[in-house]
Amino acid sequence: MEEIKNAYETVFILSSKLDEQATAALVTKFKDLIAENGTVDGVDEWGKRRLAYEINKETEGYYVLINFTSVPAFTAELDRIYKITDGVIRSLIIRKEA
């Protein structure tokens, strides 16, 4: 029996202290991770934006939005990886309604 797959979107903010190569490497890392466990429907890199409030003494961050489809169990693992990855300031995963 095939597992049920849901549509999700995730936004993560990377530290503005990272250089361009490190930022690109992290974006690629997360895209590849999602692709291994589901399908990437779209990637939208918003670039550097001012944060609404200071986080860890930083006022800017690099925003990335990824739309993807996967099994529900993967989102918990993705969230865990966001939390242990240096350079990720904030992250959010939301299930989209059909």
d(CA 78, CA 61): 20
**Half-sphere exposure (Cβ direction) of 95: Cα atoms closer than 13 Å:** 12
pLDDT at 2: 65
pLDDT at 53: 93
pLDDT at 98: 65
The pLDDT tens digits for 26-76 are 999 999 999 999 999 999 999 999 999 999 899 999 999 999 999 999 999
The edge-to-edge listing of strands for the beta sheet with 6-15 is: 38-55, 58-70, 6-15, 88-95
Domain ranges of the chain: 6-95
Q: 18 — phi, psi (to 5°)? A: -75, 145
d(CA 47, CA 82): 18
d(CA 8, CA 6): 6
**Half-sphere exposure (Cβ direction) of 30: Cα atoms closer than 13 Å:** 36
At the fourth CATH level, the homologous superfamily of domain 6-95 is Ribosomal protein S6/Translation elongation factor EF1B (3.30.70.60)
